[in-house]
Structure 1
């Protein structure tokens, strides 16, 4: 065995994390070439992931590999703030309501609201609900 070859375990390693990251990068507007380089796959593999492919088997049958689905909206547990709740937090906070009042309005603890406002405060001093929700979504999706 060559010194350059890396030993691998039995069978192929799943690429599900790489595929999920690839789809995420494409959704963010990355080019195919850049997304492939970031994930560490060839452009031809990225092209197959994006567009799907037809594979001919030795017995003559044709197998269609479907393209990867774009990021779907995933249901987030009610334990986490929803996008609608975050928008309402932004509205009430911009009107001058404090965490306790916002919490009563949403049926959440004041500490949850306070933590949300503190964690997702933009350097301009504004709370950005869509940015906060996108961050939570990707955190939960790619754990």
Structure 2
């Protein structure tokens, strides 16, 4: 009885393509909020952090690629794997810029201080390995 119920639940919920869509919407959609904040308010704060580390401030505009363009492409299922790798790289850079000192720390509510960076990094890697799936705005698998 329990086994047949579990088999029925497993059969009903088996839809890899829909799971890929949900993952793309979560990773791309949530990151897009971070990117839109920078697109609206500017990248001056990031440029200042880069300058403090001896790097040219214009590199800050790369965050718009990693946090706006890449998430939009991930959500739409266009160039999904390369876009996910760009997002993952962006999270590594963010960790190097602001997270290295927090790697072994907890925040005020007891969560891992860099958990959002890790979530987006691992989520982007999962999207890169899984691809877009069937639900994409493009039909040619080369562009997915």
Q: Which has the higher helix share?
A: 2
Larger Rg: 1
Give the TM-score taking structure 1 as reference length. Answer: 0.26
Give the TM-score taking structure 2 as reference length. Answer: 0.26
Q: Name which structure has the greater RCO, CA cutoff 8 Å, separation 6+.
A: 2
